[in-house]
Amino acid sequence: MRIADALAQAREAGVDRLDAQWLLGHHLQQGRAWLLTHDDAPLPAALAAAWPALLARRAAGEPLAYLVGEREFCGLRLAVSPAVLVPRPETEDLVRWALELIDAGAVPAAGPVLDLGTGSGAIALALKQARPLLTVHASDASPDALAVARHNAQRFELPVQFHPGEWWQAVPGLRVALAISNPPYVAPGDPHLAALGHEPLQALVPIADGGTGLADLKRLIDGAAPHLLPGGWLLLEHGHDQGEAVRERLAQAGFTEVATRSDLAGLPRCSAGRRP
């Protein structure tokens, strides 16, 4: 089978050409330009044999990141698996906000920070990579997710202290200058869930939620004060229609300087508050 034949099969299977080129390029360790100029090159026998199954998985909606086993986030090519969410660009906005707070002196450059529900370790590792003086902690209730995060930390030689457990229960006694989280916030009946069926449901939808998707966001806000140093910040990613509710909850919990930021599409996506 040649590269041209593999791309023709992808078209017949209903797989986007760019997706197919990305898959081929990953397995051949070549860029798209090389593929375009070498479409007569034969595929290795193992890839040719695996190709129909890869196409079937992509055609069924499985994320490319799972098929290639990695996803770039804030310049780090992170290993991912179906045990963790695929890191997304809007979460990079959350990291950038945290870095702005550090650079402005609102969070000490060498202070302790905590990523709650770390998944692949994306937020924690991006912060440690960008600001090496930070003491970074990360937690997750899923042992499988923590295994992926630990693997990524070892892969990039970024020291992060990992804690198993749910939300604040994972870090009894720990107090930090910044806590940050991309928690489950999708409402159980959200129509977008169908397109996310290959990703872990527990990382998308809060358990025992009342149908709003806000349950874990509320838990994080309500339990934050004992774990934040005076003047400490809580940064949260949330749904585009949840900004007002999150700001109200932060204010009710006594946070000051409460604010919301929008993503590149102009949708309210992250909110934060400061402990007095």
Q: How far apart, in whole angstroms, are the C-alpha atoms of residue 75 and residue 78? A: 9
pLDDT in tens, the chain (276 residues): 999 999 999 999 999 999 999 999 999 999 889 988 998 999 999 999 999 999 999 999 999 999 999 999 999 999 999 999 999 999 999 999 999 999 999 999 999 999 999 999 999 999 999 999 999 999 999 999 999 999 999 999 999 999 999 999 999 999 999 999 999 999 888 888 888 889 999 999 998 777 789 999 999 999 999 999 999 999 999 999 999 999 999 999 999 999 999 988 899 999 999 999
The tokens for 26 are 């990953």
Indicate the residue type of 85: L
pTM: 0.93
Q: Which residues of 1-22 are buried (b: 16+ CB within 10 A; e: fewer)?
A: eebeebbebbeeeebeeeebbb
| CATH (residue range 73-274) | 3.40.50.150
Other beta carbons within 10 Å of 230? 9
The domain spans of the chain are 3-60, 73-274
Rounded Cα distance, 172 and 226, in Å: 9
Distance CA 101, CA 16 (A): 40
